[in-house]
Amino acid sequence: MSLLAILQYPDPRLHTVAKPVQAVDARIQQLIGDMLETMHDAKGIGLAATQVDVHERLIVIDVSEDHNQPLVLINPRITWASEEKQVNEEGCLSVPGIYDGVERSTAIKVEALDENGKLRTIEAEGILAVCIQHEMDHLLGKVFVEYLSPLKRNRIKTKMLKARRDTVRA
């Protein structure tokens, strides 16, 4: 296993639409392990392959308190979403230190392949539903800050670019 570099907003690669995973093979198994290790190391609860510059439809999530219940979603597809929506505070490993409210469905059903290539249906609500929707946005090339006002988005972009410049100089 190895840690992967997480792309930082406003990196244009974060806007790449991911392609379906063709086969759940050794390469994908390795990527799953590396993504889980990267996500846990970064203290995150979800990570999409897009965020590590692999543009395939793969997500890893672990919302458990002990970080020992990983969920792998390959080629996920939302088959149902509740009409009821709620605003939740979200953050993102690609936009470190930034949190803001995003409105999402409170419950969803998702079909996806698991880490063994077996088709599963997952019913999710609460933080898991929010996390799945957030990570699936990444697969569509969308970062959560795009739900915010243009003013907030520009402030975040400026802050992230400044932080990157300061890091390069240090």
Determine the structural domain holding residue 37 and report its residue range.
Answer: 12-169
Q: Which residues neighbour 162 within 8 Å (Cβ) at sequence distance 6 or greater?
A: none
Would 4 be classed as within a structural domain?
A: no
Exactly one of 56, 90, 115, 135 is catalytic; which is it? Answer: 135
pLDDT band at 1, cuts 50/70/90? Answer: confident
Task: Quote the DSSP letter at residue 5.
Answer: P
Nearest to 104 by CA among 74, 76, 125, 77: 125
Question: CA 105 to CA 61: how far, in whole Å?
Answer: 18
* Maximum Cα interatomic distance, the chain, rounded to a whole number of Å: 48
Q: Count structural domains, the chain.
A: 1
Task: Specify if 106 maps to a domain.
Answer: yes
| H helix or E strand, kind and range, residue 72 | strand 71-81
- 53, part of any domain: yes
pTM reported for the whole predicted model: 0.95
Query: Is pLDDT above 90 for 85?
Result: yes
Does a structural domain hold residue 18? Answer: yes
CATH number, domain with residue 51 = 3.90.45.10
State yes or no: pLDDT of 170 exceeds 80: no
Task: Output the average pLDDT for the chain.
Answer: 96
Task: Flag whether 129 is in a domain.
Answer: yes
In a domain, 2, yes or no: no
Residue 49 within any structural domain of the chain: yes
Annotated binding-site ranges for Fe cation: 92, 134, 138
Kindly report the number of other CB atoms within 10 A of residue 138's CB atom.
Answer: 26
Whether 135 is catalytic? yes
